[in-house]
Amino acid sequence: METLEQIRKFQEFIELHYLPFLMERVGRGEHYLVIDFRDLSRYDPTLAELLLEQPEEVIKAAELAVQQSDIAAEAKDFRVRFSDLPVTQDIFIRTIRSQHIGKFISTKGVVRQKSDVRPQVTSTKFECPSCGNIISVLQLDTRFKEPSRCGCGRKGKFRLVGKELVDAQRIVLEEAPESLEGGEQPKRIDIFLKQDLVSPIGDKKTNPGSKILINGVVKEIPIILRTGGQSIRYDLYIEANYVKTLEQDFTDIEITEEEERRIKELAQDPLVYEKLIQSIAPSIYGMDRIKEAIMLQLMGGVRKTRDDGVVTRGDMHVLLIGDPGAAKSQLLKRAKIIAPKGRYVSGKGATGAGLTAAVVKDEFLRGWALEAGALVLSSSGFCMIDELDKMNKEDRDAMHEALEQQTISISKANIQATLKAETTVLAAANPKLGRFDPYDIIAKQIDLPPTLINRFDLIFPIKDLPDREKDEKMASFILALHKQTDTRKPLVETSLLRKYIAYARTRVSPKLTEGAVEEIKEYYVSMRASGSTEEGLIKTIPISARQLEALVRLTESNARVRLSEIATREDAKRGINLLDYCLRQVGLDRETGRIDIDRIATGIPTSQRSNIHLVKEIIAELEDRLGKTVPIEDVLREATTKGMSEGKLEEILEQLKRSGDLFEPRRGFVSRI
């Protein structure tokens, strides 16, 4: 088909189908038009086929057709973009071969790196110093071209008098993890974006971590060797024609009027809580409290930015600590499916740089570039971290800032950056010895730093204890699932549940009522007052201000479940019940029978800390009387008069020796260091 014929056909096609769209674009001052490939193939299959085989020429013909129309005559550099290519053109990054060079293809992936937007030359004008002739040179290659000779016979040394520039940017696209099999390593390809694709609106689509679809032309680029010569191998890249965001965060999910009606209908249902909890993980038996926590976590609290610049996070973090085989990973995987922009990482495989950010060498800009890690990539989404206890200490430390401040600061290789990580974390870990000891205190068996544990709003221990009745029910449930895979359908299907959560998060920002504030305050103050008031001993601290903020978040997310703009006393009660359940599971001090937040926050309960304090005082008093070395017998005599048992004293002395506060110069005597 001749070029003139192509231009004529495109003019007819646009006048028939796309005239209103074109007028709208030009009216807005936008210099591009998106054409649906299916419309073109219905209008002229031959032209559509030619577009896939010779995209550069056909796209140019389409652009000329638009520019020759009266509407877009003013618009210089008008671009035509093609969406919805046929399935035959959908090609994985790993299967792009030399046969695809010059063809129009479609590929999907996750953006890993992104360069700055820089101007690129498209055409240049040179003046001949001898005869004053103006020579135009189109810059289509990657190397800058100068004219070789002029009509007057002059060769070389022409003067550059003008050039046209367009904005250009390079992104690195990597295959999405779900499309990989077994031990395959995800492959990458460079994508070049130009003009409106790098406009501030288009720029948002291609942030690192976004999952996108690219329609473009595969091109080759020569590799220059260190010697200056050209290699016989070429590199591939794709010049993008159309970009579409695939994986949305909550703000991008489209909700139709019909779906909105169903969402509002569901919110009016008095059993909405039970329905949503049951739909979180229908194939997992029991665990209603944990499912409720995950549902509230998906809904989230309200993020608040105050006038003084202080930001209070709205994201709730949940930690599951349980025996092996207690379906923790299953819950995490299911939550990843429901949550928009959910990412799943596992302990040993996640390094500090893999979680936060890494600094990598950028070949394109000849410098260093930031590559975002899992917590940054799932910003305004969810990050599920499995096997938290198997991670290295340094990698776990990298999470501290991300969990509370919701930023990640990097200072490496001359790059000082603060990245946004407004991520909700759902983590799972095993107890210290792999399984819970039913006779020991739970808090002692959590082998995670107290500073990290303290950042989680809710902590659930999942114990796997034999219980005939419960085991029979669970066995029947699991075996029924294996017998028929479709027996447990969620009451609310996953697609609607995702949209329900997205609707609640984007359109509902509940405010606390006086009743809710009173309820939270009452619980907080009564819990604080329940600390021990024994003379001379440190009081137990049952709850801290961090739990108070957690209560506010829980109350707000309970209101979001009902799509309510106000959080009532009932919402606060639900939140208090859940938090109280967690505290009683993890923070109960058996010696005093009271809840003690220090069990979780510092690893040492207050009752033990006050006993340590008592022993230190006794040793200091005896030192004044007896000199530097103090007999253990005398310490025991003093301690028993103050109501401490011999076993308890031995345990505390052993602890003080381990921590380096005491040493034993000879058997039966202790000295302070």
pLDDT for 350 beyond 80: no
What is the model's pLDDT at position 570? 86
Q: What is the mean pLDDT of the chain?
A: 77
Do residue 278 and residue 408 come from a single domain?
yes
Q: Is residue 500 part of a domain?
A: no
Which of 209, 227, 247 is where one domain is finished?
247
Reduced to 3 states, what is the DSSP secondary structure of residue 226?
Answer: coil
545 HSE (CA, 13 A, CB side): 1
Q: How far is CA 432 from CA 330, 389, 439, 449, 459, in A?
A: 21, 8, 14, 12, 15
Q: How far is CA 143 from CA 122, 222, 223, in A?
A: 11, 10, 12
pLDDT for 610 beyond 60: yes
Q: Is residue 405 part of a domain?
A: yes
What is the model's pLDDT at position 558? 86
Return left, alpha or beta for 643; rule: phi > 0 is left, psi -120 to 50 is alpha, else beta. left
What is the model's pLDDT at position 202? 62
Q: In angstroms, rounded to a whole number, what is the distance separating the alpha carbons of residues 424 and 250?
A: 13
Do residue 347 and residue 399 come from a single domain?
yes
What is the model's pLDDT at position 194? 80
What tens digit of pLDDT does each residue of 288-308 get?
Answer: 888 888 888 888 888 888 888
Dihedral over Cα of 644, 650, 652, 656: its sign: positive
Q: How far is CA 131 from CA 101, 134, 461, in A?
A: 41, 9, 87
Do residue 192 and residue 272 come from a single domain?
no
Do residue 100 and residue 59 come from a single domain?
no
Q: Is residue 650 part of a domain?
A: yes
CATH value at residue 636: 1.10.10.10
| Helix, strand, coil content of the chain in percent (nearest 5) | 45, 25, 35
**% of the chain surpassing 70 pLDDT:** 84
List the domain range (segments joined by +) for residue 242: 89-247
Q: In angstroms, rounded to a whole number, what is the distance separating the alpha carbons of residues 385 and 546?
A: 22
Do residue 291 and residue 189 come from a single domain?
no
pLDDT for 535 beyond 50: no
Q: In angstroms, rounded to a whole number, what is the distance separating the alpha carbons of residues 40 and 104?
A: 15
Q: In angstroms, rounded to a whole number, what is the distance separating the alpha carbons of residues 577 and 555?
A: 11
CATH value at residue 458: 3.40.50.300
pTM of the model: 0.67
What is the model's pLDDT at position 383? 83
Q: In angstroms, rounded to a whole number, what is the distance separating the alpha carbons of residues 133 and 146?
A: 14
Q: Is residue 647 part of a domain?
A: yes
Average pLDDT value for residue range 379-405: 78
Do residue 66 and residue 108 come from a single domain?
no
DSSP string covering 327-378, please? SHHHHHHHHHHHSTTEEEEEGGG--HHHHSEEEEEETTTTEEEEEE-HHHHT
Which among 531, 538, 536, 655 has a CA at the least distance from the CA of 606? 538
Do residue 587 and residue 628 come from a single domain?
no
Work out the number of other CB atoms within 10 angstroms of the CB of residue 362: 16
Q: How far is CA 391 from CA 101, 336, 461, 503, in A?
A: 43, 20, 19, 35
Residue 469: both structure tokens together: 């009745």
What is the model's pLDDT at position 440? 65
Q: Identify whether the C-beta of residue 121 lies closer than 8 Å to the C-beta of residue 106.
A: no
- Strand bridging mode 630-631 / 669-672: antiparallel
What is the model's pLDDT at position 88? 82
pLDDT for 590 beyond 60: no
- Higher per-residue confidence, 483 vs 537: 483
Do residue 136 and residue 281 come from a single domain?
no
Which among 169, 174, 236, 178 has a CA at the least distance from the CA of 204? 169
Residue 540: both structure tokens together: 């137990």
CATH value at residue 41: 3.30.1640.10
Do residue 54 and residue 152 come from a single domain?
no
What tens digit of pLDDT does each residue of 616-652 get?
Answer: 888 888 887 877 888 888 888 888 887 777 888 888 8
Q: Is residue 388 part of a domain?
A: yes
Q: Is residue 189 part of a domain?
A: yes
Do residue 75 and residue 128 come from a single domain?
no
CATH value at residue 572: 1.10.8
What tens digit of pLDDT does each residue of 66-117 get?
Answer: 777 766 666 567 788 888 888 888 888 888 888 888 888 888 887 777 777 7
Burial code (b: 16+ CB inside 10 Å, e: under 16) for 503-539 equals bbbeebbbebbebbeebbeebbeebeeebbeeeebbb
What tens digit of pLDDT does each residue of 155-192 get?
Answer: 777 888 888 777 777 788 888 766 665 566 778 888 88
Q: Is residue 480 part of a domain?
A: no
Which of 568, 601, 634 is where one domain is finished?
601
Do residue 127 and residue 105 come from a single domain?
yes
Q: In angstroms, rounded to a whole number, what is the distance separating the alpha carbons of residues 372 and 13?
A: 43
pLDDT for 603 beyond 60: no
Rank 195-199, 521-525, 595-599 by mean pLDDT and report only the highest. 521-525
Under the banding of pLDDT at 50, 70 and 90, the label for residue 37 is: confident
What is the model's pLDDT at position 110? 79
Average pLDDT value for residue range 547-571: 85
Least reliable range by pLDDT among 26-30, 84-88, 92-96, 421-425: 26-30
Burial of 71 (0-12, 13-18, 19+ CB in 10 A): middle
Which of 247, 273, 291 is where one domain is finished?
247
- Higher per-residue confidence, 589 vs 259: 259
Q: In angstroms, rounded to a whole number, what is the distance separating the alpha carbons of residues 311 and 305?
A: 4
**% of the chain surpassing 90 pLDDT:** 0
Count of structural domains, the chain: 5
Q: Is residue 493 part of a domain?
A: no
Average pLDDT value for residue range 199-212: 70
pLDDT for 512 beyond 80: yes
Average pLDDT value for residue range 651-671: 81
Which among 267, 218, 240, 235 has a CA at the least distance from the CA of 102? 218
- Higher per-residue confidence, 311 vs 599: 311
pLDDT for 48 beyond 80: yes
Rank 100-109, 268-277, 356-365 by mean pLDDT and report only the highest. 100-109
CATH value at residue 149: 2.40.50.140
Do residue 170 and residue 32 come from a single domain?
no
pLDDT for 422 beyond 50: yes
What is the model's pLDDT at position 491? 74
Q: Identify whether the C-beta of residue 586 lies closer than 8 Å to the C-beta of residue 459.
A: yes
Which among 528, 524, 531 has a CA at the least distance from the CA of 606? 531
